[in-house]
Chains A and B, each alone.
Chain A
């Protein structure tokens, strides 16, 4: 482990940790969205998917994913705090006037969008995974005693402020990915004149896909298409 510690001490090491954990978290968000879009295929489909995820045979995979995601999240957050403090120290006196040519709003607000997404994530888990927070009333269970994922999602999003908070968080997540999905290629040194256009293109594509795919669910609930 000593090589990891000495590597992590450097800022490039912390950036690589942020890049790798960021990719893992992104892949989870992508898979999570793809799975949950099954809500458009009806109640039985979504609840069957939820049951499959929580089945005995799937448990080792489920817990592996949970542990990897939890560790990734912790490393991502810790590294980001350490780097931000480093960045503040690097410019003790601010400029009176500052203009940016290239640094876009997504890149400059990573340290704001990140914590907001983290707080949303806590709420999201408490509402839909553990059921501790129920804005719509009861945490619905199926006849078998398993959580009724479909009903919980629909009832939750029928509360306007739950939907609004969710939409805002997903848009911020989109901003975070807009910079992050491009930035990690640079951090890991994946630069080549032939592929550089593709890096920006793919980052934008995935960030738009995630925002549209995720927002579609509360919008469909609010519009009454999913009941």
Chain B
């Protein structure tokens, strides 16, 4: 199949779309492989290849991501762009490829963004404190099956940033809420639970991310199908923490 690609090229602060023709694209290629082939051509021609983030190419690392025709990770639901195959596109189609656009994700080059803001949000509270030494037995503290399931659903988040990219407000709330829910459902997450909600949500704002208007757009593009129920949960923890609930449990004493 042949495709027309409009790719965002950026060096420094200003960028623009550049048109490329991708010829004889195999429908079995992944989207990133299609870009690899294009880059090979560009290198042979002596031009600079298109920079984009990628690592595992198995949909589990959260490194890759670009907005394809207005949808983060492209038209296929519940998948990352590395797992998106060219069979989901039509011969002769025109494709617009853009980087994640958010104040919190500065564009480094072309489609490559600096997503370290998400790491700093994790550092602000997305962890539990444990004593070092011998690892505790997994079954030492019983966890209800239903809680474990909900926790694991949220723990699927790979931190790819598609929620931020899709949100009309550029909010990172689904990411933050997934971490809060993941740890909040487990006994190990309880001691820091209240302070975690306050710290992570405040940090996300500091990093320049927006707020949640409950558009539910993030849920629709999340490659791991994380539910916005996690956001309601994060809001609940934040409200309880702010109003002094569980002051003894790390909440804010008012």
Residues of A within 8 A of B (CB): 3, 7, 10-16, 83, 86-87, 89-103, 107-108, 110, 179, 182-183, 185-191, 193, 196
A107 & B233 in contact (Cβ 8 Å cutoff): no
Question: Is B187's CB within 8 Å of the partner chain A?
Answer: no
In the bound complex, what is the Cα–Cα distance between A16 and B220 (angstroms)? 24
Residues of B within 8 A of A (CB): 6, 8, 17, 67, 69-71, 96, 98, 101-104, 168-171, 201-202, 205, 208-217, 219-221, 228-229, 231-239, 242, 254
List the A side residues contacting B6 at CB < 8 Å. 96
B79 to chain A, nearest CB (A): 14
A101 & B220 in contact (Cβ 8 Å cutoff): yes
B84 to chain A, nearest CB (A): 15
**Given A7-B242, A102-B219, A190-B210 contact (CB < 8 Å):** no
In the bound complex, what is the Cα–Cα distance between A36 and B125 (angstroms)? 52
Q: 8 tightest A-B contacts by CB?
A: A189-B236, A191-B232, A11-B211, A90-B170, A90-B210, A99-B70, A103-B215, A101-B220
In the bound complex, what is the Cα–Cα distance between A12 and B171 (angstroms)? 12
Among the listed A87, A110, A190, which residue makes an inter-chain contact with B211, where contact means beta carbons less than 8 Å apart? A87
Is chain B's binding surface mostly helix, strand, loop or mixed?
A: mixed
In the bound complex, what is the Cα–Cα distance between A13 and B211 (angstroms)? 10
A95 & B235 in contact (Cβ 8 Å cutoff): no
27 contacts between A and B (CB under 8 A): A7-B242, A11-B205, A11-B212, A12-B211, A12-B235, A12-B239, A15-B211, A86-B211, A89-B208, A89-B210, A90-B104, A90-B169, A91-B101, A91-B102, A97-B96, A100-B168, A100-B217, A101-B71, A101-B221, A102-B220, A103-B216, A108-B215, A183-B213, A186-B214, A187-B212, A189-B235, A191-B233
Chain B residue nearest to A7 in the complex (CB): B242
A109 to chain B, nearest CB (A): 11
B98 & A87 in contact (Cβ 8 Å cutoff): no
Chain B residue nearest to A14 in the complex (CB): B211
B205 to chain A, nearest CB (A): 6
Interface centre among B101, B220, B254 (most CB of A within 10 A): B101
List the A side residues contacting B96 at CB < 8 Å. 96-97
Interface centre among A7, A14, A16, A103 (most CB of B within 10 A): A103
List the A side residues contacting B98 at CB < 8 Å. 95-97
In the bound complex, what is the Cα–Cα distance between A110 and B237 (angstroms)? 26
List the A side residues contacting B237 at CB < 8 Å. 189
A98 & B102 in contact (Cβ 8 Å cutoff): no
Chain B residue nearest to A186 in the complex (CB): B214
B214 & A107 in contact (Cβ 8 Å cutoff): yes
Chain B residue nearest to A191 in the complex (CB): B232
A96 & B17 in contact (Cβ 8 Å cutoff): yes
B234 to chain A, nearest CB (A): 8
In the bound complex, what is the Cα–Cα distance between A27 and B169 (angstroms)? 28
In the bound complex, what is the Cα–Cα distance between A16 and B231 (angstroms)? 13
B213 & A107 in contact (Cβ 8 Å cutoff): yes
In the bound complex, what is the Cα–Cα distance between A205 and B96 (angstroms)? 40
List the A side residues contacting B235 at CB < 8 Å. 12, 15-16, 186-189
